[in-house]
A and B are shown apart, each in its own frame.
Chain A
Amino acid sequence: MAKTLLQSVNLYCERDQRVLFENLDISVSAGEVLQVEGPNGSGKTTLLRILTGLSDAYEGDLLWQGQPLQKVRESYYQEMQYLGHSAGIKQALTAEENLQWYAVIQAGHLNAGSSSQQRAGNIADILAKVGLRGYEDVPCHTLSAGQQRRVNLARLYLSSATLWILDEPFTAIDKNGIATIETLIEEHVKSGGTVIITTHQDLKSVPNLRKITLGEVLPA
């Protein structure tokens, strides 16, 4: 059996005197995809932010490889890549500059041993892969919403993290783009990676898919 990476035990979260979820037990292992579903306002983003360790507005336990997440934060962040709800890029910077900064701050899970020239080459390649060839050096505010989203998604190529946590990655992205990302997820999972994702999209080609649905348990 594959090793459990991230585990939540008896997770409880309330917001504005409303219970979002309770007794939530999640566990994901290597090579698995967990799709979180639920209507708007059911707490999908909240759950994902809790799982990244950003939010601590919960009760219960979160374990990373069997250890409490708060205690192993550093090593968790070496292995975890989160794409949030918001664009995650600076409008004033070019796509390349954005990725360069990310390459440095994500350095814990950057493909090791790359010099700055190699990295520049890498970044150009990566931007080409997400279909932004020729847009490397224009400020991001001139890009369309979908293109900006692609700059953000390009970070997945930059990273060697095992666990990806993706919050609505398909927003504002066209059909081709969706196919590209699905392939990317598929490859990641096949090589032993793990993905936790919220989306309304059907992930047909993705192996080892499990789903959980939030917002079904009404408060008693």
Chain B
Amino acid sequence: MSFSKLFMATLKRDMTIAFRHPSDLVNPLIFFLVVVSLFPLAISPDARYLAEIAPGVLWVASLLATLLSLDMLFQSDYQDGTLEQLLLSPQPLYTSVLAKVVSHWLLSGLPLALISPLLALMLFLPSSAMPTLMITLLLGTPIMSFIGAIGAALTIGLRKTGLLLSLIVLPLYIPILIFAASAVQNAAIGLPVLGHLALLGALLVLSVVLAPLAIAAALRISLGS
């Protein structure tokens, strides 16, 4: 059994399921939209002011949207017993976990990155910063999916997971938030951003390689009682 066959089978399965529950797909996006539109209401509709806080707001909002979408990663598989079958498969768990996280990103992070310019317009982010915003989201949301999946795997089957999951995962998101938001800020005032993006890329590579190991271990632990 080749790596790609196993990977694609799980990816296809998760995508099919998600497309049969379109609301699961759309909800994080709506959340993103609502949270972002709260800031002008709460602070000020002044364009200059909003442009200044836009990078931070967009990034915090996408971080929260990712966080809230994490429970769809393993929870339903846990409830219907397919997760334990995945663990009992003779195939490497690393691959199937990788496929699950990638499908989570395709369903949550990628759409967020794609609609972010629209919301950036609402916050008057300078158009020179748009490409950087999209690139940071494209690089940063998969890292958040990977790290978040560790937390999701650790909290499977516990009661009241939502708050616990945020407590566990949010501190780990801090470096991504710092690098990404300051990259967008730099882009807005015309400073170089390549260094930031390189760091984000390095973090992405690190999380692709290491996180599935932690996720697989966490899944075995969570189902092991």
Interface residues of A (CB under 8 A from B): 52-57, 74, 77-78, 80, 82, 84-93, 97, 100-102, 104-109, 139
Which of B88-96, B154-162, B186-194 is the contact stretch?
Answer: B88-96
Interface flag for B44 (CB, 8 Å)? no
The CA of A12 and the CA of B85, in the complex, are separated in Å by 25
Which of B20, B82, B223 contacts A54 (CB under 8 A)?
Answer: B223
Size class of B's contact patch?
20 to 34
Chain B residues closer than 8 Å to A85, beta-carbon distance: 81
Which of B1, B9, B20, B79 contacts A101 (CB under 8 A)?
Answer: B9
* Interface majority SS (helix, strand, loop, mixed), chain B: helix
B224 x A92 contact (CB < 8 A) = no
A88 x B80 contact (CB < 8 A) = yes
Chain B residues closer than 8 Å to A74, beta-carbon distance: 90
16 A-B contact pairs sorted by A residue (CB < 8 Å)? A52-B88, A53-B88, A54-B84, A74-B90, A77-B89, A82-B84, A82-B85, A84-B84, A90-B80, A91-B80, A93-B20, A97-B13, A104-B6, A104-B9, A104-B91, A107-B90
Interface residues of B (CB under 8 A from A): 1, 5-6, 9-10, 13, 16-17, 20-21, 76, 79-82, 84-91, 96, 223-225
The CA of A80 and the CA of B96, in the complex, are separated in Å by 19
The CA of A105 and the CA of B88, in the complex, are separated in Å by 9
Chain A residues closer than 8 Å to B1, beta-carbon distance: 104, 107-108
Identify the interface centre among A97, A105, A107: most chain B CB within 10 Å of its CB: A105
A100 x B90 contact (CB < 8 A) = no
A108 x B91 contact (CB < 8 A) = yes
The CA of A215 and the CA of B81, in the complex, are separated in Å by 26
Q: Could you tell me the distance in whole angstroms from the C-beta of B79 to the nearest C-beta in chain A? A: 7
Q: Could you tell me the distance in whole angstroms from the C-beta of B225 to the nearest C-beta in chain A? A: 5
Please give me the 8 A-B residue pairs with the lowest Cβ-Cβ distance, nearest first. Answer: A108-B90, A86-B81, A104-B9, A105-B89, A77-B90, A88-B81, A92-B20, A107-B1
